[in-house]
Structure 1
Amino acid sequence: MTVDASIRNLRVAVIGGGPGGLATAIALSKIPNVSVNLYEQASLLREVGAGISIGANTWNVLELLGVADTLTSGHPTWTILNMNGRSGEELDRRERPRGGITRPPIRTQRTELQKALLAHVKPGVIQLSKRLARMVDKGRKGVELYFEDGTVVEADLVVGADGIRSVVRDAAWPSYEIKFTGTTIWRTLLPWDAVKDLDPRFEITGWWHTPTTHVYFSPVGEGLWEIASRAWQDPATNSASKKSWGVPVENAYVESYFTEYLPKIREALARVPSGGWREFAAFAGPELAQLTAWNNKVVLVGDSSHALSGAFGSGAGFAIEDGWILAQALAYWKNDTSKALPLFDAIRLPYYSRMYAHLAAEADRRATKLKDLGDPTFDERVRNKIITDGGKDMSWIYQNDIGAVWKEHIDRLEKDKELV
């Protein structure tokens, strides 16, 4: 096989073994002259959490990666509910259109997505027990990465796929700061048979709300059922550790936040086996002006690039899209990072900017509505916090076709070349 001599050799270090890191490694491994290694701090590659949503946007990019057919487990989420957690009143029911859909939206276990992605990572790419300590910009020589076990690695390109608490971002954007949002999340999985006697509505994916908390119930396939519960406290008077991510917590502590709920909901929480809960403190940070740094030797993908703490419920999809676009940009520019990374920025940065703008507008809308209500009742406050589209078209997120987005940008780029 003849190799194009104009394609540069590129050593890529991907930091982080979540969905974004795995997808990036898969996509990069298909590019000629790219040597990719993925470094994960854990000694065993495992997902922390419970369920994950796979919608049209994520299916689209999984198809492009060749992974979609490997993900076979999950619960179809054609119907989504929003309920008043104290009264049981149905506040919003969304029926997703089924016409022309080849793959249904699903809620599945995070481990199932990880397993599907892992099946497509080439042997020898993943290096475990590699916790990144620091990075050094070596100019034209690339980047030196220092790991806590004493390993030193050189790379031409570093991909920060290490999440919202990114060490890569801390190194290349030292002034960037994430802050506790006030929200704490508790997640668990338990057998559906353990709770199916309580309420038939619990078999429908949905949120049950009070003004400052919610409980999310959903089957995730394989006979399992997910609970993801959240509580908000004013971050001005409450704090959390940046390291509080997936730590065990006592059942009684979790249940103490949800005493206002319907008895059936409280009973569902009480049926979680001892030691089953994991706690996650939600952090978020401001919009970045660029997703690339160090003269196009560092790039961020996934939550490290947009610290929004799961605001749209499709973070894995966004991260996988990032990895695929990065690989296409490198392939298009024959591994020339000075051209490929600005192209990646041009495609993905406006997308995340639009998300930040949407969230700001939604926060303003809610604040204005509460002000207009004057002294709102419990039920009015619950209604005001329900996340709906509000008449806005959200297909740019949930039906995003990243392949079509890429083609549109490249067609425009080729047209611009012809005009020069």
Structure 2
Amino acid sequence: MVGRALLSVAIVGGGPGGLGTAIALSKLPFLQVTLYEKNPEPREADLLGASDGVKGGSKSNTHQRNAYTGNILSITQHPENSDADTRGAIRARRTRLQSALLDKVPEGLIQFNKKLVSLEDLPGAGVRLIFDDQTDAHADLVVGADGIHSVVRRVLLPDHQLRFTGNTAFRTIVPRSRLAHLPDITSTTAWWWGEAGHVYFSDVDDEKEVDDPYFEITVRSYKEPDIPGKTVVWGIPATKEKVASRVSTFDQRVRDAVDAVHEGEWGEFATFAGPRLSKITGWDKIALIGDASHPLSGAFGSGATFAMEDGWILARALEHSKFASHPVEEALEVFNVIRSPYYARMYEHLDEVGAKMQQFKAENNDFDAFLKAKIDSFLYGDKSFIYKNDIGKVWEEYVASLPSSN
């Protein structure tokens, strides 16, 4: 980029994906990066250098249970790998991850209280970002890291529509000591599966790090009504009574755990999903990452990872294309070639599993048999392309495939 002006990059959204992208891109000296976050302050891996700041509860022993009887249907042991992360899989608070990432973001890079309302394509002159405080900004490249209800995606693809899935999660974290009378709940990570919903229990703190570690309870209901004008909820308060009603037929231990949560501690999260995008770039100067690029409403429980992988690949693509005559356009093509098929595979996997479960249910009236088949699919279906994805190796293989590399 000798003799050229710096390329300006605007990242929209300050969640883990946006922060991870800011870290990756800020390391490239030919970019000038600004992150725009709609909230007034920070809210609630590792090629980015932040994983050492994230500790969580171990998920090395995971139980799958019948929600009505409590019967243990499956136990998964996650073998520790001494050559990699000896903690195995962990579950950590989102706030801790974001705090660790924030520590790695250069000072002054983030602008808060900047809620994006629209974008304008400026032919030959990048993109104009318009905010609700009547200010604007310009960038050569815009990264939409603004989640499943992405404004960037809505402007780029106005015909793409989300739908309410009927699935709502009620979430909380509580001190584990409050559940001390329920050792069957607190001793393992566990999924308690029912017909119209399930409950998930997991540590989210390293017990060696805090005196009274926190514990996550998520109650997921599959058949919530779609109420026009009221369904778009994310993190609104939910009453104890409402949550308890979703587990009223479950095992007493589950009901007791839910009852231990105080009034005002539940948050309600309605989930939405949308069709796969044929491309995750647009205007030759916009990239969509994370939930903005694949609106699957947390289907694999690894949304932050996907988004940070996106940001890292985008950084590599920009570095690779920095001497091209149209570096942003070429970098976005590389980014799309690598990441778009990855998300297409996720959609295909979900379609295959969904069809398999529908057929099984049509042919079998026994709930336990259906539940076992669902758990087998959930646990043992081939998802190594997700949970064992080595993003560094993915990039190396892409570079090796290029004609100049052969």
| Structure 1 unmatched ranges of 5 or more | 48-61
Q: How many residues align?
A: 395
- d(CA) in 2 for partners of 1:213 and 1:385? 13
Decide which of 335, 343, 353 is 2:344's aligned counterpart.
353
Q: Which residues in structure 2 correspond to 1:5-404 (within 5 Å)?
A: 5=2, 9-47=6-44, 62-71=45-54, 73-103=55-85, 104=87, 105-221=89-205, 222=210, 223-233=213-223, 241=230, 243-294=232-283, 296-334=284-322, 336-373=327-364, 376-386=365-375, 388=377, 391-404=380-393
RMSD after superposition: 1.7
- d(CA) in 1 for partners of 2:309 and 2:216? 26
TM-score, length-normalised on structure 1? 0.90
Structure 1 residues 240-292: Cα deviation after superposition (integer angstroms, max 9, x where no partner)? 74640011111111111110111111111011111000000000001100000
Query: Counterpart of 1:26 in 2: which secondary structure?
Result: helix
TM-score, length-normalised on structure 2? 0.93
- d(CA) in 1 for partners of 2:328 and 2:113? 28
Structure 1 residues 353-412: Cα deviation after superposition (integer angstroms, max 9, x where no partner)? 000000000001100101111xx2443443343364565432211111100100000111
Identity of aligned residues (%): 42
Residue identity opposite 1:396 in structure 2: F
- d(CA) in 2 for partners of 1:82 and 1:389? 10
Change (3 A) 1:113 1:355: same
Change (3 A) 1:387 1:319: farther
Query: Counterpart of 2:262 in 1: which secondary structure?
Result: coil
Structure 1 residues 85-142: Cα deviation after superposition (integer angstroms, max 9, x where no partner)? 1101111211112244531211111111011100000001111111101111011111
Runs of 4+ in structure 1 displaced over 6 angstroms?
Answer: none
Residue identity opposite 1:350 in structure 2: P
Residue identity opposite 1:37 in structure 2: T
- d(CA) in 2 for partners of 1:387 and 1:129? 45
CA contact (8 A) 1:160 1:299 kept: yes
Residue identity opposite 1:84 in structure 2: N
CA contact (8 A) 2:189 2:201 kept: yes
- d(CA) in 2 for partners of 1:240 and 1:262? 34
Query: Counterpart of 1:140 in 2: which secondary structure?
Result: coil
- d(CA) in 1 for partners of 2:128 and 2:350? 37
- d(CA) in 1 for partners of 2:11 and 2:33? 7
- d(CA) in 2 for partners of 1:25 and 1:8? 19
